[in-house]
Structure 1
Amino acid sequence: MLHHLTALADARVLITGGAGFIGSALTRQARALGAHVTVLDDLSGYDTDTYTALGHTRAAPGMIVGDISDRPLIERLTRGNDFVIHAAAYSTVAGCVRDPDAAFAANIGGTHELLRAAAGASSVQRLAFISSAQVYGHGVAGPDEVQIFTEEQPLSTLNPYASAKLWGETHTRHLLEAAGVDYAIVRPFSVYGERQVPKPGAWSWVVAQFCMYASLGQELPLNNSGRQIRDFVHVDDAAHAILASLTAPQASGVTFNLGSGQPTSVRHIAELVRDHLPATRFQAAPRPAGDPFGGRADIARMVSVLGWQPSITVEAGVARYLTWLHANPEAIPSWLPDEHNRVAAWEHPASAEPALTDSRPT
């Protein structure tokens, strides 16, 4: 364990969105470190069964069911906390595109309320704002190049979710620096792991989706023949890094990538799943419109400011997910077995890059 994480023992920590996938891992690890955690979540992201699988119920200790935009509530919860992690968000790209009003209310309005409250809370030692690698957009390389995303490169958002995250980064700096409140900004890449449950229409959680499709005997859709490169980081590693960003002295005021630093193709994920479930077949599919070309994170800054780097390989992570899924088959959403139109959903004219559509057999 990082020595500076001992600062969380007996500390009071507020985690917004703490009942979600990453938030749940943060909550478990923070409590294991001896922190007194308050979780704020409106429990709108999943159904009751999924939240139960994630270990959260309305009656769970430390759980506050409420709206991040509720100013009196946010001010009351923020007062007295030593650390704040802002992980609450209307969190899927597809969902933000379908319902920009809800996305704006949560990701812009809610973020403002939380930052405003933290700026006025004298007890807060540091706030961690959870941004996203989505702020890089396609990056600066071509569609078939393996690029390395650095924190200093130009940013170019492709969707409302990414735009809100970029705005949140800037607003964090403006409000908290003016108030003299410390902060860190974390840009996670492709976070995956046990307890991750897909949402309808969200194509980005490929490890969970591929494992579930294969467990059901369905084909795995390989967009662009699976050539896209992603940087997969296990949720346990991601949570460890986020908690470390609260206590690492060198993380003060810093924006850093959170990834493994390893480039992994989507096809490799499919092949890892097939290694465990040999009957798995692949299906050719076009690249979804607006899907970032991808690459890997430059994690040099993360390693420097935290004195740590991830340890769970994607091979081990996929195996862990399949073991968890085998033990928890009820985690497969009821809608997923009948999701026959998932490939058709990617075949729409919004895609402006015909060269990326590959209909060849996989």
Structure 2
Amino acid sequence: MEATSRRALSDRPRPTERDAEEAAYDVQTALAGAKVLVTGGAGLIGSRITARLRSLGAKPVALCTLDAYPREVYEGLFGIEVGGPHLVIGDITDSALVREVVTDCDFVIHAAALADVAACTRQPSSAISTNVLGTQSVLDAVAGAANQVQRTVFVSSASVYGHGCEPQSPEARAYHAALEAVYGPLPPVFDEQVTPLDPVSAYANTKAWGEAQTALTLDAVGVSHSTVRYFSVYGEPQVVKPRSHSWVVAWFATRAALGLPLELNGGGRQVRDFVHVDDVAEATVRALVAPDAHRATFNVGTGIPTSIREVAELVRQHFPQTEVRETPMPPGDPMGGFAAVKRMRQILKWRPQVGVADGVDRYAQWIKETPAAIPTWLRESAAAS
């Protein structure tokens, strides 16, 4: 499909969503005055979650190591008040600290993780330390505060589906067929109720473990929990990290802004469901209080597949002279698929608001207007090349 037609198609209702009505529930009333711990709360997604919680009248507390980015990224781009009363600098593997922070919290969002697929592949022991031992530390603290914590949301990833498979349930097959009638042949649709988990990377493996362990630990003590599986998160003010092949929108726009070629791993045939960080934050906050989210797992995506090559073409609309190169596929990089979103809509009574074409437009414009967001190491690499 041509990139120029993507915007019009993405604005249309999904075939299975026509005439569906979202029944409202009062998120603000449910969260007003509530203390919410957000692990990883100073990162890209975490900072958006805490900002949304504050806008609803909640009292978020972020627990974060502040070691994933330079300090100026946290303060200047993510809007984090380092030294402020709502930020606890620390590691989720510090069990005593986590217990102390959780003690008087009404809700917990566990978003802290080593979330870089490439970094987890290079250093699986680091992935295990943060994503497994750290998660257990958080779960133990929540279990110890079972009389206080109303619900915990575990942040997972669509990477747990791996390469996926053909839709299995009649509903999933019908959903897939209806989409193919609009878009033509499509990759797998990931249905959280029927698609088996098949992690193909160390990162995905730790997330699959975290999902199961959250249920095991919190069911035993009667704490409500839900799991959100994020698809490909992007959006301003996301900034790239060295030696990472994640965050493709940010990578492509940043490289294009520097006049560097866009590298299409495996020719860019991989498919992702790109969901804007603002929408991800909203879905996560709603998962805290949605009545039907208790013990539920649901995808957070748009229900629209987009190839990596299509993203490159959307970026090139803003940087027309940009060269495109095909490069080898890195290990642990699945061909991907896209989200079945009916369950998300049923549970959260909501749908994402930012389409991929608009989201890429926003990011490309932001990187042009915010050149300081381009890391020094990448500028130096561009100059040297």
1:34 aligns with 2:57: yes
Contact 1:4/1:244 (CA < 8 Å) preserved in 2? no
Tell me the SS of whatever aligns to 1:326: helix
Quote how far apart the aligned CAs of 1:337 are.
Answer: 3.4
Note closer, same or farther for the CA distance 1:45–1:300 as it changes in structure 2 (3 Å cut): same
What is aligned with 2:341?
A: 299
Q: Distance in 2 between matches of 1:57 and 1:94?
A: 29
Tell me the SS of whatever aligns to 1:131: strand
1:19 aligns with 2:42: yes
Q: Name the amino acid aligned to 2:163.
A: H
Q: Distance in 1 between matches of 2:84 and 2:359?
A: 28
TM-score (norm 1): 0.90
Tell me the SS of whatever aligns to 2:315: helix
What is aligned with 2:116?
A: 92
Q: Distance in 2 between matches of 1:147 and 1:265?
A: 13
Q: Distance in 2 between matches of 1:226 and 1:165?
A: 25
Contact 1:185/1:256 (CA < 8 Å) preserved in 2? yes
Q: Name the amino acid aligned to 1:77.
A: V
Quote how far apart the aligned CAs of 1:61 are.
Answer: 3.5
Equivalent of residue 299 in structure 2, options 247, 254, 257: 257
1:213 aligns with 2:250: no
Tell me the SS of whatever aligns to 2:320: coil
Tell me the SS of whatever aligns to 2:376: coil
What is aligned with 2:363?
A: 321
1:111 aligns with 2:130: no
1:227-281 CA-to-partner distances (Å, cap 9, x unmatched) read 2111000000011000000010011110111101001111111111111222222
Q: Distance in 2 between matches of 1:324 and 1:84?
A: 31
Q: Name the amino acid aligned to 2:136.
A: H
Q: Distance in 1 between matches of 2:51 and 2:138?
A: 22
Quote how far apart the aligned CAs of 1:141 are.
Answer: 5.0
Structure 1: any 5+ residue segments left out of the alignment?
341-362
1:29-55 CA-to-partner distances (Å, cap 9, x unmatched) read 111111101000011111112212211
Q: Name the amino acid aligned to 1:148.
A: V
Quote how far apart the aligned CAs of 1:69 are.
Answer: 1.2
Runs (4 or more) in structure 1 with deviation over 3 Å come to: 337-340
Contact 1:258/1:297 (CA < 8 Å) preserved in 2? yes
Equivalent of residue 231 in structure 2, options 189, 193, 203: 189
1:134 aligns with 2:175: no
Equivalent of residue 266 in structure 1, options 278, 298, 308: 308
Q: Distance in 1 between matches of 2:42 and 2:150?
A: 23
Contact 1:232/1:314 (CA < 8 Å) preserved in 2? yes
1:123 aligns with 2:148: yes
Contact 2:121/2:332 (CA < 8 Å) preserved in 1? no
Equivalent of residue 150 in structure 1, options 181, 185, 191: 191
Quote how far apart the aligned CAs of 1:338 are.
Answer: 4.8
Q: Distance in 1 between matches of 2:329 and 2:126?
A: 26
What is aligned with 1:247?
A: 289
Structure 2: any 5+ residue segments left out of the alignment?
1-21, 168-184
Q: Distance in 2 between matches of 1:213 and 1:274?
A: 11
Contact 2:227/2:298 (CA < 8 Å) preserved in 1? yes
1:282-326 CA-to-partner distances (Å, cap 9, x unmatched) read 112222222101111111110110111111011110111122212
Contact 1:69/1:113 (CA < 8 Å) preserved in 2? yes
Tell me the SS of whatever aligns to 2:165: coil
Q: Name the amino acid aligned to 2:310.
A: H
Q: Distance in 1 between matches of 2:187 and 2:247?
A: 20
Q: Name the amino acid aligned to 2:151.
A: R
What is aligned with 1:344?
A: none
What is aligned with 1:70?
A: 94
Q: Distance in 2 between matches of 1:41 and 1:319?
A: 30
What is aligned with 2:72?
A: 49
Q: Distance in 1 between matches of 2:354 and 2:70?
A: 29
Which range moved further: 56-65 or 252-261?
Answer: 56-65
Matches within 5 A, 1:169-184: 169-184=211-226
1:120-143 CA-to-partner distances (Å, cap 9, x unmatched) read 21211100000111111111259x
1:86-106 CA-to-partner distances (Å, cap 9, x unmatched) read 000111111112222222111
1:200 aligns with 2:222: no
Which range moved further: 5-14 or 182-191?
Answer: 5-14
Contact 1:189/1:231 (CA < 8 Å) preserved in 2? yes
Query: Considering only aligned residues, what root-mean-square deviation do their CA atoms show, in Å?
Result: 1.7
TM-score (norm 2): 0.85
Note closer, same or farther for the CA distance 1:20–1:307 as it changes in structure 2 (3 Å cut): same
Quote how far apart the aligned CAs of 1:225 are.
Answer: 2.4
Tell me the SS of whatever aligns to 1:135: helix
Q: Name the amino acid aligned to 2:233.
A: V
Contact 1:128/1:246 (CA < 8 Å) preserved in 2? yes
